[in-house]
Amino acid sequence: MSQNENGNVASPQPGASLVATGPAATHLTAPGMHGPGFGQPVGAQGQDVLKGGMDRSGLFHALRRRWLLATSMSLLLASTVAGLLYWLFPETNSATAQYKVSSSPLTLMERGQNVYKDDYEIFKNTQLAYIKSPLVLMSALTANQAEISRLEMFNDADDQVEWLRNHLEVAFPSRGEIMEITLAGPHPKEDLKKVVEAVSKAYYDEVIFREQGERTLPLQILKGSLRDLSGKVRDKLETYKQLAKDSGTSEIYKGSFDPETELLLAEVREIQNREAKLRGELTEATTNYRILEAQINDPQYMEQVVDEMVKSDPMVAQMQQEAMYYQMQIRSLRSTVKRGTSAQIRMLEQQYQQAQQEIAQMKQQLQAQLSGQQSNEPNPYIKAALTEYQIKRQFGQAELAELNKRGEEIKQELLRKAESNTDLMLRLAEIDQLQAVEESIATKIQNLQVETQAPNRVQAIGQKGDASATAETFENRNRMMRYAISGLGGLTVLGLTCLGIGYMEFSSRRLNGPEQVDEGLGIRVIGTLPGLTGKRSLSAGSPILAQLSESIDSVRTALMHESTSKKRQLVLVTSPETTEGRTTVASQLAASLARAGRRTLLIDGDLRRPALHTLFNSPLEDGLCEVLRAEAEVSDVVRPTQAEGLWLMTAGYCDSDAIRALATDQVQPIFDKLRSDYDFIIIDGAPVLGLSDSLLFGQHCDGAILSVLRDRSCVTKIHQSVELLRSVGVRMVGAVVNGVSSKADRRVTHLQQVTPKSAQKKLEMTEV
């Protein structure tokens, strides 16, 4: 047997729902067991079933019912989104040039107190700032007749320098000595290589080569001083020789003197040596001071100082944060506004431009302030160096004054001893002093020449000699990131699609199982019925048929148990809507009562769409409708069936007269007559919702059994049907849940394999 579209039983078809039993049914159909809250208003649990949100159990049952749709739709959308994300994030190529930045400079000349902060972190940050400075970037863009600026990647850039500054990555990986200049993006790797190499060459030419020139500045100054000093010594020596020749004492420096004169001359030489050393120290201090002054007055240094002051100024930092906040708000609003610009975006753009103007004005004020400070008062570095230089000069000049004073005293003494040779001797001493200074400067020049040949602190990796670093290219460097984004997006869409389909299915509030009827709605469940798929489940010897018989007997037992205490002779079997198995329940329950030895009458109460006549192969005419129209007697329309103790009353031909007669008082005598002839009367009624037939039948019945179908019946409609039946005074016996999965009990199926003893005796007599 199977159900037609109205839930009525017809010939066996795949998907029919029949009565089954199992652990749940055994518990719920035990004699005397009633569901919680039976006959009472729906409580908190019922409200959860009717209006509660979706939980894990609800989502599971929703996806179980719509697993094919959820699987196919989620896989389709997930694969589409994953492919779209993979396409939206194109392959990224990159080009990288590397430099080695030594942690300590190589120096062979002791310079005394270093005027710079020889800190490695500061030096590294300075190199990073140099590479991204407008000087280097502009030089890279304009190199080779502006070939770089004509590349395709710069076509959409309003400010090429700013674009390159934002996209160029300069960093020290792992905080080591290797500096990497990297440019990445969805551009040809050859173009990326050209840009990186242009930036590398501009950095080498504008920074490294310039620093090499600054390293030779002390050498050039010392060479100029040596040339001037050598010329002065040469002139004084020529003058000395000419005077010696004119005075006729050209060999005076070769003669010998008395011991006192020798001592005086030795002291004179010592004084001269000391004066030469002091003058050399003063010359070195003057040279260092001039070098510092030349470097600090460099405009690039001024720009760096201004940048540091801007970064450290809290007011500028606050304005930059405000500008960044406005920019983020503009981007967020542009992503939501589809066409044009809104008034809020224009207001934010004005505020952003105003913040940028205030930052620029603050930078100009700081630069003007710094320029004014330098014009009004010395630079702190120059001031410190000048103070040191003045102190050295003051002490040196004081010591020179003492030496000169002592020299004058010796000179007067020597004048007294040899007035004629004094001038020549003093000139000779002065020449010796200048020659000592000349020798000291020559030594320093030799040291600086060696130092300038030392390797630069910043060197290109992979290049020999003085040359800029070349770039290496890498293809599809973001492959794993693309896979990760696509996979994550696909999984997200997969989950959201399943969740959305599950929520839409959950919103229909379909019945998940007997517990929602019993515990959720407070309706007693007196039986559960499994779903049958295919004709095989209805064939003879099928375990499900054995379970069907046992389960129906459980429902019968519950009904007969109530009949002992309450009158349950006339029972209506109905359902909220069609296709919910009420005909199956009614016919099987009537057959079970007949097997129990009770005279049972089965009435087809679905007058508009009858089905029992096809189930029992009986003619439709001469049924209940004919009795209602007074065209036939009750005893004439009742037909026996093949089952012992079971009689059938078909629906007959329905018309409006029969429906109107159902609402009159002539129905009650009919049922009174049937009550006297039968132990149980089972009516297969019409659906409760949408028709009044079952409500009219229910007023004459002792109770009603509600048939519902798992995954088909709506919980809200079940509740509505029960409330509607109760509103007209129909007493509820309980509910039977169809379509519940159950396992066949071996103790039940074993009975089908055992031959009855009566049959065995007949078989033995036949053999004899």
pLDDT of residue 413: 74
pLDDT of residue 371: 61
Answer whether residue 338 shows pLDDT above 50.
yes
Contact assessment for residue 575 and residue 7, using Cβ atoms and an 8 Å cutoff = yes
pLDDT digits (tens, 9 = 90+) for 402-434: 888 888 888 777 766 565 565 666 777 788 888
pLDDT digits (tens, 9 = 90+) for 279-293: 888 888 787 777 766
Answer whether residue 145 shows pLDDT above 60.
yes
Confidence of residue 295 (pLDDT cuts 50, 70, 90): low
Asked whether residue 647 falls in the same domain as residue 736, the answer is yes
Output the domain CATH number for residue 166.
3.30.1890
pLDDT of residue 759: 44
| CA proximity to 577, closest of 742, 408, 694 | 694
pLDDT digits (tens, 9 = 90+) for 606-661: 999 999 999 999 999 889 999 999 999 999 999 999 999 999 999 999 999 999 99
**Terminal CA-to-CA distance of the chain, rounded, Å?**
39
Dihedral over Cα of 228, 232, 235, 238: its sign = negative
Q: How does DSSP assign 64-114, residue by residue?
A: HHTHHHHHHHHHHHHHHHHHHHHHHS---EEEEEEEEE-SS----S--SS-
Which of 491, 510, 529 is where one domain is finished? 510
- CA of residue 485 relative to chain centroid, distance: 9
pLDDT of residue 236: 84
In a domain, 8, yes or no: no
Question: Among the ranges 5-9, 378-382, 385-389, 563-567, which has the highest mean pLDDT value?
Answer: 385-389
Asked whether residue 277 falls in the same domain as residue 361, the answer is yes
Work out the percent of the chain whose per-residue pLDDT is above 70.
75
Which of 419, 435, 466 is where one domain is finished? 419
Q: Work out the average pLDDT over 230-235.
A: 87
Of the listed ranges 8-12, 96-100, 319-323, 659-663, the one predicted with least confidence: 8-12
Give Cα separations from 348 to 325, 336, 653 (angstroms).
10, 15, 79
| CA proximity to 603, closest of 591, 587, 619 | 587
Q: Work out the average pLDDT over 312-336.
A: 79
Q: Work out the average pLDDT over 656-677.
A: 92
Asked whether residue 125 falls in the same domain as residue 68, the answer is no
Question: Among the ranges 156-160, 288-292, 386-390, 593-597, which has the highest mean pLDDT value?
Answer: 593-597
pLDDT of residue 621: 87
In a domain, 193, yes or no: yes
Asked whether residue 725 falls in the same domain as residue 654, the answer is yes
In a domain, 450, yes or no: no
Output the domain CATH number for residue 543.
3.40.50.300
Dihedral over Cα of 119, 124, 125, 126: its sign = positive
pLDDT of residue 679: 93
Cα 162–Cα 166–Cα 170 angle in degrees, nearest 5: 120
Distance CA 173, CA 183 (A): 15
Cβ partners under 8 Å of residue 309, min gap 6: 366, 370
pLDDT of residue 561: 79
Answer whether residue 176 shows pLDDT above 60.
yes
pLDDT of residue 591: 93
In a domain, 449, yes or no: no
pLDDT of residue 2: 41
The mean predicted confidence, pLDDT, of the chain is 79
Asked whether residue 327 falls in the same domain as residue 305, the answer is yes
pLDDT of residue 278: 83
Confidence of residue 1 (pLDDT cuts 50, 70, 90): very low
Answer whether residue 543 shows pLDDT above 70.
no
Q: Which residues pair with 600 in a beta bridge?
A: 646, 680
Asked whether residue 383 falls in the same domain as residue 460, the answer is no
Of the listed ranges 81-90, 524-533, 581-590, the one predicted with least confidence: 524-533
Answer whether residue 358 shows pLDDT above 80.
yes
pLDDT of residue 274: 85
H or E element, residue 345: helix 343-376
Q: Work out the average pLDDT over 569-574.
A: 95
The residue ranking higher by pLDDT, 622 or 388, is 622
Q: Which residues pair with 648 in a beta bridge?
A: 602, 639
pLDDT of residue 498: 94
pLDDT of residue 114: 45
Tokens standing for residue 149: 């600026």
Number of domains in the chain: 4
pLDDT of residue 465: 59
Within a 10 A sphere around the Cβ of 768, how many other Cβ atoms?
A: 5
In a domain, 242, yes or no: no
pLDDT of residue 416: 64
Q: Work out the average pLDDT over 463-483.
A: 77
Of the listed ranges 11-20, 291-300, 610-619, the one predicted with least confidence: 11-20
Asked whether residue 746 falls in the same domain as residue 654, the answer is yes
pLDDT of residue 370: 62
pLDDT digits (tens, 9 = 90+) for 179-232: 999 998 888 888 888 899 899 988 988 888 777 777 677 778 888 888 888 888
Of the listed ranges 31-35, 272-276, 325-329, the one predicted with least confidence: 31-35
Query: Does the global pTM surpass 0.75?
Result: no
Contact assessment for residue 604 and residue 624, using Cβ atoms and an 8 Å cutoff = yes
In a domain, 534, yes or no: yes
Confidence of residue 306 (pLDDT cuts 50, 70, 90): low
Asked whether residue 76 falls in the same domain as residue 99, the answer is no
pLDDT of residue 760: 41
In a domain, 6, yes or no: no
pLDDT of residue 375: 53
Asked whether residue 294 falls in the same domain as residue 415, the answer is yes
Asked whether residue 730 falls in the same domain as residue 582, the answer is yes
Answer whether residue 310 shows pLDDT above 60.
yes
Asked whether residue 553 falls in the same domain as residue 490, the answer is no
Distance CA 601, CA 598 (A): 10
Question: What range does the domain containing 273 cover?
Answer: 250-419
* 3 state SS for 385-418: HHHHHHHHHHHHHHHHHHHHHHHHHHHHHHHHHC
In a domain, 237, yes or no: no
Cβ partners under 8 Å of residue 83, min gap 6: 486
Asked whether residue 408 falls in the same domain as residue 557, the answer is no
